[in-house]
Structure 1
Amino acid sequence: MEILDLYDENRIRTGKTYIRGEKMPENTYRLIVHAAIFNAKGQLLIQQRQATKTMANLWDLSCGGASDKGESSKEAIRREVMEELGLDIDFFDIRPIFTANFKHGFDDFYLVHRDFSLSDLTLQTSEVQDARWASEDLVMKLIDEGKFVKYKKNFVRLIFDLGKDDRIVEI
């Protein structure tokens, strides 16, 4: 059972919580985090969701999930990356590159550059069935084929474009 903090429209914790999967109270929001991990070749690490998860078998960004009760955005993304991929990335000095507001909350997107071999990953088998490095063209092809989470193409292009920015923190 995941217990999540509830926020107001200004992203201030209300002091109330809810259990993930239950209906959220009206006029409350939750915090989601995502990481887009790029290598030196400009490829994005993508993961394939497990068949037992929502959006089953679809490819997705490097990592993502909900912020647990009491967690900051940076704590949540560090935990999610460690749980899903087995990578310990310290996000202390990394700010989200942007926040997307959606109907039920806020979604912080972190971009990092890090080179490693896929064999360095320890996938959380309950959530992730596979991972690979992918070019922008491959991700667009997967979207066209209905094999990638249904992000808008321009949104994914923005992530790739921002991933090319040399101001992104190297870790």
Structure 2
Amino acid sequence: MIIELWDVYDKNRNLTGKTIKRGSKLGEYDYHLVIHVCIFNSKNEMLIQKRQPSKKLWPNMWDITIGGAVQSGETSTKAAERETFEEIGYRVDLSNDRAFFTINFDNGFDDYFLIEEDIDIKDLRLQYDEVEEVKWADKDEVLQLAKENKFINYWFLEKLFEIRKQRGAYTK
């Protein structure tokens, strides 16, 4: 079994020089970095994944395209590329991109990457222990799944569809 290490950050997102094993408790005022990738197609549908029933957190729930922890020594961009390939077998080049937005959570920072790619899901190779299935879903379907408690209910879920091509100030 491979031991996964995370870099530890301070509240200002500066590296502290410490690492922690995945699953270990972070110290007070210690934080780690997580990435999420939302892949949209040209029809304004998001590629969503259903988490395996064996997952510790949110088993059998639908989720945004990709999510995962940044490993020690990685940038969030490299982690987003790695996790996308690991979870759905799709190579994405984010070398000229940065996180679309970041949300602070109790134990760290969530970096979100929003990209547009028209992907044929038949060509994807799903990571068996993580992802049960994937499908394209429009905003109405995603919001309905969330309403039925079948989709992880991110508080900004509806906004993802509206801001996916925005940078800077949001105007409707």
- TM-score bracket, normalised by the shorter chain, equals over 0.9
**Residues 29-38 or 13-22, more deviating:** 13-22
- Give distance in 1, aligned partners of 2:77 and 2:154: 23
- Give distance in 2, aligned partners of 1:8 and 1:163: 29
Q: What residue in structure 2 maps to residue 51 of structure 1?
A: 53
Q: What residue in structure 2 maps to residue 158 of structure 1?
A: 159
Following TM superposition, by how much is the alpha carbon of 1:27 offset from its aligned partner in structure 2, in angstroms? Answer: 0.5
Q: What residue in structure 2 maps to residue 33 of structure 1?
A: 35
| Superposition RMSD in Å | 1.3
Aligned amino acid, residue 73 of structure 1: S
Unaligned 5+ segments in structure 1 are: none
- Give distance in 1, aligned partners of 2:139 and 2:10: 35
Q: How does 1:2-21 map to 2 (within 5 A)?
A: 2-21=4-23
* 1:100 is the counterpart of 2:103: yes
* 1:115 is the counterpart of 2:118: yes
CA contact (8 A) 1:48 1:131 kept: yes
- Aligned pairs, number: 165
| TM norm structure 2 | 0.93
| TM norm structure 1 | 0.93
- Which secondary structure state, in structure 1, belongs to the residue aligned with residue 8 of structure 2? strand
Aligned amino acid, residue 66 of structure 2: C
Aligned amino acid, residue 84 of structure 1: E
Unaligned 5+ segments in structure 2 are: none
Following TM superposition, by how much is the alpha carbon of 1:95 offset from its aligned partner in structure 2, in angstroms? Answer: 1.4
Q: What residue in structure 2 maps to residue 128 of structure 1?
A: 131
- Give distance in 2, aligned partners of 1:94 and 1:38: 16
Q: What residue in structure 1 maps to residue 91 of structure 2?
A: 88
- Give distance in 1, aligned partners of 2:73 and 2:46: 30
Aligned amino acid, residue 35 of structure 1: V
CA contact (8 A) 1:100 1:108 kept: yes
Q: How does 1:137-148 map to 2 (within 5 A)?
A: 137-148=140-151
- Which secondary structure state, in structure 2, belongs to the residue aligned with residue 132 of structure 1? strand
Q: 1:67 to 1:137 in 2, by over 3 A?
A: same
CA contact (8 A) 1:42 1:164 kept: no
- Which secondary structure state, in structure 2, belongs to the residue aligned with residue 130 of structure 1? strand
